[in-house]
Amino acid sequence: MAGKTPIMSLIPSSWFNDPTKSSIWIVGYRMVQVAQENFTQSQPMIDLGDVRAIFNYGSLSYMDASNIFEFEQDHVRNINYSKFESKDTNVGGWTILITPYMSDGVQRSESETRNSIIVAEGILSALNSPNIVYEKIYENIVELSPIKTSTFSPTFLTTNQPPNLQASALQLLSQFSVNLQALPENMQNRVILSLRWYSKSLVQGLDGFLTGCQAKGNGTDLE
């Protein structure tokens, strides 16, 4: 996108005084169930707190690192830097969220920056349509002067605990499942919920899972 529309034209002038010491966090989402005629303005944009939301019909350019990891024998992970590459999307509807990352030499934390994006994404999804942020396509950081784009590699769970495939360890897992089924229903539900929390937290963080539980509104998952 930066090569098609000057990135500085998308940023509120109040965000930065010195572009040489500033950067933005930019996330692009596929928008579905829209066509070009639904865009009554060429590139509408709104501000959601410290996030600017831009709605675009066309194609986007971005940096991609989703394929830089390659697995070899015994699943040893290697990095292929040649797979860090510029990509262009298909033509369609897109939502772009941008927020300050470094402002005049002062950098926000990654968690604070991501939370700003997540809140804006939630506003758009809840009050407009989930299809307006249907699929996240990319997440880049753009340094503003000179323009330099970086991106994120896929994340992996890292632990020093190897799988235990001994017969006794596998039997322990099987016995745990049997014991779980024998618990009173209320206790069984608590253990199952804890296991779900743990599993979800490995990939999306505990906050995301708890929010999902609360959004169901029936309360049964939190008993």
pLDDT tens for each residue of 114-126: 999 999 999 999 9
Q: Render pLDDT for 134-154 as a digit per residue (tens, 0 to 9).
A: 999 999 999 998 888 887 765
> Same domain, yes or no, for 40 and 144?
yes
> Same domain, yes or no, for 141 and 179?
no
> Same domain, yes or no, for 179 and 90?
no
- Any domain includes 161: no
Range of the domain at 215: 167-222
> Same domain, yes or no, for 95 and 178?
no
Query: What is the structure's pLDDT at 215?
Result: 39
Please indicate whether residue 4 or residue 220 has the higher confidence score (pLDDT): 4
> Same domain, yes or no, for 91 and 195?
no
- Any domain includes 40: yes
Q: How many domains does the chain have?
A: 2
> Same domain, yes or no, for 43 and 99?
yes
User: Over 80: is that where the pLDDT of 56 sits?
Assistant: yes
Query: What is the structure's pLDDT at 222?
Result: 29
Note if the pTM is more than 0.85: no
Average pLDDT of the chain, as a whole number: 83
> Same domain, yes or no, for 61 and 115?
yes
Most confident of 6-15, 62-71, 118-127, 203-212: 118-127
> Same domain, yes or no, for 67 and 113?
yes
> Same domain, yes or no, for 109 and 12?
yes
With cut-offs at 50, 70 and 90, classify the pLDDT of residue 159: low
Q: Please identify, among 117, 151, 185, the residue that sits at the C-terminal boundary of a domain.
A: 151
> Same domain, yes or no, for 204 and 141?
no
With cut-offs at 50, 70 and 90, classify the pLDDT of residue 203: low
Helix axes 167-182, 185-204, angle to 10 degrees: 130
User: Over 60: is that where the pLDDT of 156 sits?
Assistant: no
